[in-house]
Amino acid sequence: MILTLTLSLLAAQSVQDMTLVNGQPDNATTTVSGSGRAAAYCDDFNRANGPLGADWATGAGTFDINGNQVDCTGTFSYTDNTVANHAASDTTISIVTGPTTGALIYTALRIGVNSGGNNFYVKLQDQLYAGSYSHYGFYLNNGSNPGGPYGIFGALALPFTQGKMTVSYDSINDRLVMDLDEFNDGTVEQTVYSGSGASAYALAGTSHGIGSYGSHVVDSFEINGGCGGGPGFTLAKSGACPGLMTLDTTNGTPSAPVAILHGLAGVFIKPSGACAGITLGIANPSLGVMLGANGSGAASVSFNAAAGFCGRTVQAVDVSSCTASNTIVL
């Protein structure tokens, strides 16, 4: 489906107070049985200070519970969960990371660890020693194999102070997706991507864990939404502007309408009508196109992006659940 995005004013802009709010409360540590996307796991680390416990096997460094969160100490440290075993291709994995300390620090997720120790290694790093995460990385095997599509190390558009880091597999584009929810409030402020070709690597591995460098804290490790919330409604792009581009949404309501909106970056709260109260990351959003999700909750559209659209912010809305996706920039 090839089309040209049109401008259609949605509504007037409202203003939102973006003051930092506390993260969502921890849930009790729990394991939920099942398979594929239905399988879920949560460890909120809300228990007595000391070792992580039998659910974890530490291969390097030190990971100890302290004040219902985890203190990570050591260089090139990692610990893997011994309970939650789900193929990486069917897994959305999250961790809440605390603030950095102005030193070389990173928080990583080990995804798809197999019997040979191979894994995807996705990290946030304080590369500038500035007290916030400034860079992201997609690697293989704890960074020991940085070549090909998984030698990606880049700067975030906005420094990430602390919050929820979620990584999932995008089967449409055969890549990993990192969503960053800085306020841990269910809203994704930034999304970054690995290169394509993930299926050639560690998707068959079923173990997952935490990697780290330096001294910092993490909390609430979860698989497939086990701590509440589930995989998020996500928007991804491929292609370059200007030119032929494709927008893909995943984890939406099956067989439901999806609105693709665009405009300049900002904040908009819909004042009335359908989805009243929904908050978008676009000032004065315009409707580009309405799509229909398939039976798996995914939708896709290809279009010729004119030069005038380059730099505009795009966001999707699951109209059935009134859920907004992350924002992307054309």
Position 270 in a domain:
yes
Domain co-membership, 74 together with 41: yes
The model's pLDDT over 196-238, given as tens digits with 9 standing for 90+, comes to 888 887 777 888 999 999 999 999 999 887 887 555 688 888 8
Side chain identity at 154, as an amino acid letter? G
Domain co-membership, 42 together with 165: yes
Domain co-membership, 237 together with 219: no
Domain co-membership, 158 together with 284: no
Domain co-membership, 122 together with 154: yes
Domain co-membership, 214 together with 236: no
Predicted local distance difference test score (pLDDT) of residue 50: 93
- Which residue, of 223, 247, 264, is where some domain finishes? 223
Walk along the chain (330 residues) and give the pLDDT tens digit of each residue: 333 333 222 222 222 222 222 223 333 343 333 333 336 789 989 889 999 998 999 999 999 999 889 999 988 899 999 888 888 887 889 999 988 878 899 999 999 888 666 788 999 999 998 889 999 999 988 766 555 567 788 999 988 888 899 998 888 888 889 999 887 777 788 999 988 888 887 777 888 999 999 999 999 999 887 887 555 688 888 888 999 999 999 888 888 999 999 999 887 888 888 888 887 888 889 999 999 998 878 899 998 988 988 988 898 998 988 888 878 888
Contact 79, 65 (CB under 8 A): no
CA distances in angstroms from 188 to 118, 245, 317, 328, listed in the order given: 29, 22, 13, 10
Predicted local distance difference test score (pLDDT) of residue 185: 73
Predicted local distance difference test score (pLDDT) of residue 13: 25
Beta carbons within 8 Å of 226's beta carbon, 6+ residues apart? 30, 31, 32, 40, 41, 42, 84
Nearest alpha carbon to residue 80 among 47, 108, 99? 108
Domain co-membership, 147 together with 278: no
Nearest alpha carbon to residue 326 among 198, 228, 196, 190? 190
- Which residue is it, tokens 């799509």? 291
- Which residue is it, tokens 């219902």? 68
Position 261 in a domain:
yes
Predicted local distance difference test score (pLDDT) of residue 201: 78
Q: Domain range spanning residue 57?
A: 30-223
Distance CA 190, CA 157 (A): 8
Distance CA 110, CA 63 (A): 15
Contact 281, 223 (CB under 8 A): no
Count the Cβ atoms, other than its own, within 10 Å of residue 319.
19
Distance CA 89, CA 94 (A): 15
Position 24 in a domain:
no
Distance CA 135, CA 190 (A): 12
The model's pLDDT over 130-148, given as tens digits with 9 standing for 90+, comes to 889 999 999 988 766 555 5
Longest dimension (CA), the chain: 58
Position 23 in a domain:
no
Distance CA 86, CA 92 (A): 10
- Which residue, of 162, 196, 223, is where some domain finishes? 223
Domain count, the chain: 2
Position 199 in a domain:
yes
Predicted local distance difference test score (pLDDT) of residue 196: 85
Count the Cβ atoms, other than its own, within 10 Å of residue 1.
9
Strands 323-329 and 313-318: antiparallel
Domain co-membership, 87 together with 192: yes
Predicted local distance difference test score (pLDDT) of residue 2: 34
- Which residue, of 189, 223, 257, is where some domain finishes? 223
Q: Measured in whole angstroms, how far is the alpha carbon of residue 224 from the centre of its chain?
A: 12
Position 139 in a domain:
yes
Domain co-membership, 261 together with 319: yes
At 1, list the tokens: 């489906």
At 257, list the tokens: 């309408």
Domain co-membership, 236 together with 207: no
- Which residue is it, tokens 């120790």? 117
Instruction: Return the H-helix or E-strand segment holding 189.
Output: none
Domain co-membership, 71 together with 151: yes
Domain co-membership, 261 together with 296: yes
